[in-house]
Chains A and B, each alone.
Chain A
Amino acid sequence: DVKVTQSSRYLVKRTGEKVFLECVQDMDHENMFWYRQDPGLGLRLIYFSYDVKMKEKGDIPEGYSVSREKKERFSLILESASTNQTSMYLCASSFGDRVGSYNSPLHFGNGTRLTVT
């Protein structure tokens, strides 16, 4: 069974802090994703990666960056946290290469609820 593990379940940070959200998957999936979830807005894609050291912007990348140094690990970085980044962050992974993974289901972690005060 695929397991996607997010390092923190709850996180409270202060405005201006640099924040790292970590995600690890154990199924050798090529693709990894970071979404944020807000009530009434569903899930919005922040960044994704098809391979080690590869990254692409999603729909709302402003204020975020990512790092993928190893295939199993995908980190989301908030360079200077702001209150409007208070949200639930969900990491996901899927099998397949960039071209062929359009019908691969995503496997999600349990989420990190980040509060920025």
Chain B
Amino acid sequence: AQSVTQLGSHVSVSEGALVLLRCNYSSSVPPYLFWYVQYPNQGLQLLLKYTSAATLVKGINGFEAEFKKSETSFHLTKPSAHMSDAAEYFCAVSGENQGGKLIFGQGTELSVKP
């Protein structure tokens, strides 16, 4: 069975500081990994996805994530936080035996202080 664990339900950073949101997964098949962002009162939007082409994946709004098989991790980073990055972030996993079904983590709320 597949599962996703996001470490830290709430992360707070100062504007301009590094953003690091942690995601660990378990999967019995090669995983396909996603990060989504949810701004207040909106649905989820895709930030980036890993599909085995490259271990470092670049997404929208300056975010990137690195797939580390040995650590079963897919952490999301951004070098310099902006106030507009304040949102909830979800990591999700799928696999070749899962069709289009995604399993989501619990979410991490990011706050950005001025």
For A109, what are the chain B residues with a Cβ–Cβ distance below 8 Å? 43
Residues of A contacting B101 with CB < 8 Å? 33, 45, 48, 58
Shortest Cβ distance from residue B9 to the other chain A in the assembled complex, whole angstroms: 6
Cβ-neighbour of B104 out of A43, A50, A96, A105 (below 8 A): A43
- Residues of A near B45 (CB, < 8 A) are 108
B98 close to A110 (CB less than 8 A): no
B74 within 8 A of A: no
Selected interface stretch from B12-20, B64-72, B76-84, B89-97 = B89-97
Task: Report if A98 contacts B (CB, 8 A).
Answer: yes
Q: How far is the CA of A45 from the CA of B98 in the complex (A)?
A: 13
Query: Nearest Cβ in chain B — how far from A42, in angstroms?
Result: 4
Which residues of chain A are near B32, meaning CB under 8 Å? 102-103
A:20-70 near B, CB below 8 Å: 31, 33, 35, 40-45, 48, 50, 58
Q: Say which size band chain A's interface belongs to.
A: 20 to 34
- Residue of A at shortest CB range from B94? A102
- What residues of B have a CB within 8 angstroms of the CB of A94 in the complex? 100
Please state if B94 and A103 are interface contacts (CB–CB under 8 Å): yes
Chain A residues whose CB sits within 8 angstroms of the CB of B44 once the complex forms: 43, 90, 92, 106, 108
Smallest Cβ-Cβ distance to B108: which chain A residue: A42
CA distance A50 to B40 in the complex (A): 29
Q: Which of A31, A40, A50, A107 contacts B9 (CB 8 A)?
A: A40
A80 within 8 A of B: no
Q: Given the known A-B contacts A40-B106, A102-B94, A105-B34, are A31 and B43 also in contact in the complex, defined by CB atoms under 8 Å? A: no
6 A-B interface contacts by CB (under 8 A): A31-B99, A40-B106, A98-B100, A101-B99, A102-B32, A102-B96
Name A's B-contacting residues (CB within 8 A).
4, 31, 33, 35, 40-45, 48, 50, 58, 90, 92, 94, 96, 98-99, 101-111
Further pairs besides A40-B107, A45-B102, A105-B46: 14, Cβ < 8 Å: A31-B99, A31-B100, A35-B104, A41-B106, A43-B92, A43-B104, A50-B99, A90-B44, A94-B100, A103-B94, A105-B34, A106-B44, A110-B41, A110-B43
